[in-house]
Amino acid sequence: MAKSFIHYQTIKGKQYASIYTPKRTNGKKDNQPKYLGKVINKEQGIYQNTKQGTFKYTLKDGYTTPQQQQPQNQTTTPPTKENLNLSFGDTYTLHQILQKNDYWNLLQNILPNHADTLCSLLFYHLLRKGPNCYAHDWWTSSYTRILCPNAKLQSQRISEFLTLLGNEHIQRNFFKKYLAKISTDQKKHGILLDSTGMQNDIEFPLTAPNTHHGTTKNETRLILVIDRLTNLPLLYRYNAGNIVDVSTLKTTLLELGAYGVWIDFSIIDAGYCSQKNLQALYDQNIGFITRLKTNLKLYKELIAAYGAGLESLGNAVFYRDRLLYIKCVPTVVCGHEAYAYVALDHQRRSEEVYEFMRDALEEDDLSVQELDQRTLGLGVFVLLSSVRVDVSEILPLYYTRQMVEQVFDLYKNNVDLLPLRTHGEDTFRGHLMLSFLGVIVYMLVNGLLGGSRFCAEGAFRSLVNLRCSVFDDCILVKEATKKNNEIAEHLKIEFPLKL
């Protein structure tokens, strides 16, 4: 019988080893290598892998625990002492909020065996922000270390954790519990729906070119659904960058339905407006407000019929210090009664007409009638609604969809969605899930701070300065500042003096 041997392989500057035992089955080679792991010391036969940790293996003696030997002529370095003075106020406040609002147990039960890692990473991205490689350094100087003592925040452990968090079964279980929790007082939801591009150059099927405003980038699209009343996110989805919004609406509604979330009203961007999508909304008895795209037949018909007569005092409304002229026109969409709001933005029209006429008057072959026709649609847009809304209310209602854009900004600036540094779809899904959890918590804190002079980020920046001292048998909390006490009073929490 052929003898076993150890095969060494170098990958990206690091050496790895496997045991090979040559044998034949039915006359064919049947070598089944056994992975040893990363080579720590080739001469002494010391290896390391995730299942066995650090161990010693030789062909003669098999597996043994390596003896920790101190090299000669080398002084012993004392172990690094734990940080005994920790940032306290931000972590403590966030933990209290999550406990009082029944989110702490929800987070702990996503991956029970890795709950400390999940909560520590979540707190890191909310309170400190930055690449995951610095998470462990932050954790050692934060009260999070006391709150979540079993967190595994080394870079390799974080990557393995995100892969676990990206598991489809784990995420479905979370969404069932989360959506049931926030739907307790709502039988049906009004939703805001939009998508954004996540630029990346990861080599996997979800990366594809997308052209927006004349610029082409490699992207993955993130689709987000938000509850119109609470502003809490309900669901996220993702697609390759070359999948257009208009083709995703029906699938998004079906996925919400699969989780038991029923929709009665939707406010959607023009990118989702098509005959098939509007028919799907009518079929499911979902009311809607959307903006018509300029290439649609209905848009052109409405502009031709009503565009020239909009500037009447009877149509004038003010919205955010802008003068608009809006006319409500009954129409028919997919065989159902609907209402079109043909609107002219006075300031925008003036700017667009000026830009157009500056060049157009130099062309001698354009008649007055042609100039009038070309300027007819400048500064004009059309909103379409399945229900009649007062003209003065249609713009405030439609522009609540800007909340989605604000949440996307929050995604990108407050919970470290970008840049994408993951490899593989499972890790990517885990990263998106962690960011989604961050958005939920940030929106929760922001909502609770409503009526105060603080937003979530401002509160966290102030609270980080409240520190604590760790002793053998207790933790003593420093004196809180006036700002910290103001935040705590608004949130109805108290800072302890001793833990």
pLDDT tens digits, 277-322: 999 999 999 999 999 998 889 998 998 888 888 888 888 999 888 8
- Residue with the bigger pLDDT between 436 and 23: it is 436
pLDDT of 73 > 60? The answer is no
In a 13 Å sphere around the CA of 5, the CA atoms on its Cβ side amount to: 8
Q: What was the pLDDT predicted at 51?
A: 65
Residue 398 neighbours by CB distance under 10 Å: 20
Which residues neighbour 236 within 8 Å (Cβ) at sequence distance 6 or greater? Answer: 222, 223, 224, 225, 432, 436
Choose between 200 and 434: higher pLDDT.
Answer: 434
In a domain, 261, yes or no: no
| Residues 382 and 307 occupy one common structural domain | yes
**51 and 20 belong to one structural domain:** yes
Q: Which domain holds residue 52?
A: 5-64
Task: Say if residue 74's pLDDT is above 50.
Answer: no
Q: Taking a C-beta distance cutoff of 8 angstroms, is the pair 127, 139 a contact?
A: no
Which strands make up the sheet holding 34-41, listed edge to edge? 5-11, 14-20, 34-41, 46-49, 53-58, 62-64
| 108 pLDDT tier (thresholds 50, 70, 90) | very high
Same domain, 103 and 158: yes
> pLDDT digit string (tens) for 131-157?
888 899 999 999 999 999 999 998 888
Q: Are residues 36 and 103 in the same domain?
A: no
Domain count for the chain, please give it: 3
pLDDT (average), residues 220-230? 89
pLDDT of residue 332: 93
Q: Averaged over 382-388, what is the pLDDT?
A: 93
Give the confidence band of 415 by pLDDT, cuts at 50, 70, 90: confident
For 244, the token pair is 């257009």
Mean pLDDT value across residues 35-49: 81
Of 64, 96, 115, which one is at a domain's C-terminal end?
64
Q: Is the distance from CB of 206 to CB of 238 less than 8 angstroms?
A: yes
Q: Is the residue at 262 inside a domain?
A: no
Does residue 425 form part of some domain?
Answer: yes
Indicate whether 21 pLDDT > 60: yes
Does residue 141 share a domain with residue 112?
yes
pLDDT for the residue 72 = 42
Same domain, 302 and 359: yes
Q: Where is the domain boundary, 345, 366, 388? A: 388
Residues 448 and 368 in one domain: no
Residue 81: pLDDT band with limits 50, 70, 90: low
Residue 94 has pLDDT above 70, yes or no: yes
Is residue 443 in some structural domain? yes
Strand-pairing partners, residue 85, are 469
Does residue 415 lie in a domain region?
no
Orientation of helix 155-165 relative to helix 425-448, angle to 10°: 90
Same domain, yes or no: 303 and 379: yes
At residue 46, the pLDDT reads 84
Is the distance from CB of 189 to CB of 264 less than 8 angstroms? yes
Average pLDDT taken over every residue of the chain: 85
The neighbour count for residue 388, using CB atoms within 10 Å, is: 13
Say whether pLDDT at 28 is over 70: no
> What's the confidence (pLDDT) of residue 245?
87
Instruction: Provide φ and ψ at 472, rounded to 5°.
Output: -60, -35
pLDDT band at 69, cuts 50/70/90?
A: very low
Give the span between the Cα atoms of 278 and 249, in whole angstroms.
Answer: 10
Any domain includes 398: no
Q: Among 76-80, 208-212, 435-439, 493-497, which stretch is predicted with the lowest mean pLDDT?
A: 76-80
Backbone angles phi, psi at 272, to 5 degrees: -100, 0
DSSP 3-state percent helix, strand, coil across the chain (nearest 5): 40, 25, 35
Same domain? For 377 and 444 the reply is no
pLDDT at 379 over 90: no
Give SS3 for 457: helix
The answer to whether residues 101 and 29 belong to one domain is no
The answer on pLDDT for 70 being more than 60 is no
pLDDT of residue 68: 44
- What pLDDT sits at residue 201? 74
Does residue 370 sit in the same domain as residue 456?
no
- Residues 379, 431, single domain; the answer is no
416 inside domain: no
Q: Is residue 474 part of a domain?
A: yes
Q: Is the pLDDT of residue 453 over 60?
A: yes
